[in-house]
Structure 1
Amino acid sequence: MNYTAPAQRVDILRELLDPVPGQSTPARDGTQLRALGELGIAFLHQLREDMAACEDPRLALELASMAESLGHESTRLRILAADRLAASNAHLMQAEEFDALRQNPPDINTPATFCTGRPLFGTPAQLLASWVGIPLASARRRVADAADLIARRDATGTSLPPRFTHLAALFADPQQNPEPVLETSAKIAKHEPPDTSFDGETTAPTLRHHDGRAIEEHAAQVLSTATSVPEARRHINELVATAAEDPETSDPVALRRGLFRLPERSTLTREYLLRVSTLEAERLESFLAHANNPRTKAGQAARRNPNPGAEAGTDPTAADAATPDFLPEGAEAQRWEDEPAAEATVAERGLNALLALLTFDLRSQRATGDAQTLTSRQPTITSQAPRLLLPSDSGANYPAIRPEVIVHLRIEDLRDLAAGDARTAHGAKLPPGQLRQLLCDANLLPAIFNGRGELLDYGRSQRIVPDKLKRAVLARDRGCLVPGCTEPPERLEFHHIDPWHKGGRTCLSNLGPGCLGHHLDYDSGRIKLIFRDGLPWVILPPHLDPEQKPRRNTYWDDLAA
């Protein structure tokens, strides 16, 4: 069919969508269904060409809204198609049926012919992947989504309600965006046992909130009331993560640690998946923060990408000396200098530091002295992992990186270790089991706070802030004092409120943490530090805070909530 006038296409679409009484509807007639699809695609193609030179911003907004709505309906149609393929056992048809459908619309007046022996496709997902040209994993995901959001079936072919009834109602609602619903359904399904409805045992959702309701019910409520998709995603992630920590509902496969080799997608690179526990992840976060700190030798070393022609971690000059020189004598002028390697990106810095550790034999030196700190008001645990030392026998001077785990918890959680949990300095939540493991591996030193949060006794004065005192400052303030700053603890510096050269003491009541940029603001006086009720507060410049009110950074308190 080739209709050149858009008005003709509109009339034909209306006729197909509103048929004459007594005639078959487009959804039940193969010829009409194919015509409807071809006309719809042709109409949208013509519309896209007509709107390509549009200058009116109102029409552009109208087009954006229409395109988004069409995309939503297309998403629902894809999942419905997967459901119909599974319901009709389309993968069991004879090969001649597939060949005929490639040429002509289906004739629904004659029944489809099915294989009497071995079919071409073993599952509906295999047929879907081959028929529309998508990866098999995507096809399997669509079939699973159809069972979770449209309908399930038993061995007799009887239709059963979907597994996630509340999300299914939201998915079918034309006023809702189906993409977040699909994402949420897949996220919850990872923690659910395999559905056994086909075997005659209909399963209900097992991932539940502490109030007894299913997580999918809570998720549907969040999706229908959230003001934005990112807000809904954050809330749902917290719901799923909290419920998944319950040993009765967590999936052992999803919690399995290890280093997994991913399929090779390029001849130039290789990909691996690293899955670690929350506690191990916190040590990695600290390791990465050290590798990204430009003010330390470790951070500077990680910023230099290794020479591709040399072994990682070797002295570049030694590598150059070992490289054969094939130029004839007297041709020194024909030599050229290698272009300097570009500075490593954030991801490359962590990789460089990690590969430097793996290249050489590792030596571990367990930290002595203060390994952990607990407080009575808002206890803090700091645990130092074994120091990672790189040998310098190759001539390279690689400094050591000592990852630290800093954890904040309440005293009631410390008293009830069977149920207590904690938050790390990087925002990760430690479940009770990993919290107990951390406590078993560390020394404990009490740091007692009064009711206002002031540390009463910790450390002694000296010009360089000792590690004990740094941990005390972090236990009190957690991070940079400037509101909104989110620099990790490893990137912080400690500022003397009363300068040392003017008689200031190195003590808790004279120190305030700050990142590199804000520390410079402290020193220059752009940001003032004052003490009030035993705690340091900042006063921002007048152009940032006309009220000139003392303020503290609440980001860390919100992170631990």
Structure 2
Amino acid sequence: RLDEEMWIGNAKRFSIKDLRDIAAGTWHAVDPEGFSAKVEDDFERRQLFISESGGMYRLDAWLDPVGGTTLKAAIDSMSNPLGADDRRTAKQRRADALVEAMHHAMGAGTLPRRNGVRPHISINTTIEGLKGELGAPASELQGGMPISSKTVQRLACDGTLHRVLKADSVVVDVGRATRSVSPSQWRALKARHRTCAAPECDRPVNMTSPHHIEFWARGGRSDLPNLLPLCYHHHRLVHEGGWQVIRAGEGVKFITPPHLWGGGAKRRWGERLAS
């Protein structure tokens, strides 16, 4: 029998969430079979929708307690601000953490293959689009969604390229795959760095990708002096966020865009050695 006075007292002391948890614990104590049946019913309601909306992707999901807690723990571990100048909101950091976790999972090579091919992102572009030349058509993801040349240049830093020749819109030749950075170069780069090369960023090097100081899409060489490991957040800032990485003696300096300088003085955000 439930103690009504106790529950009235609990309602005055606890939040709605706490009351719900207390009620669930009490239910399990007095009717474990009924509680387990309710848990299984809830599990059957799990679902995930991924849809395109206004040039973005929208995610809607229901997860069971263990699944949701697992996802939250993974995202929380990667959503702390990366340095004092991290201007992202908490919502933006969580969104970036989810994408970064997916990049890491795909790069680890442990996900199931389809028809012998690892999960990957495919982009259709032209030489002009890759270089960001004026008048070039927008590059497209495999689903047809257009992306900017700046995004293509970031992805090309650690991509595999296939040359496709066309005649009258018909593919007549597909060249061999060419990687912008070889596995041995990537291993050597990781041996020289413990974290993302951006100052104050503590993202482990295994969670980064190689960036070309002189952009690969603009002819930059894939030599170690021209490579830096950058996490997803800082790699995107350099290519799409207006940040610059310039050489400074034996190291490099990161320079933020004008709207972040403040006070009219050009701001130097920090430096780390590149060699």
Q: Same fold (TM over 0.5)?
A: no
Which TM-score band applies after superposition, normalised by the shorter structure? 0.3 to 0.5
Q: TM-score, normalised by structure 2?
A: 0.34
Higher relative contact order (CA 8 A, sep 6+): 2
Larger strand fraction of residues: 2
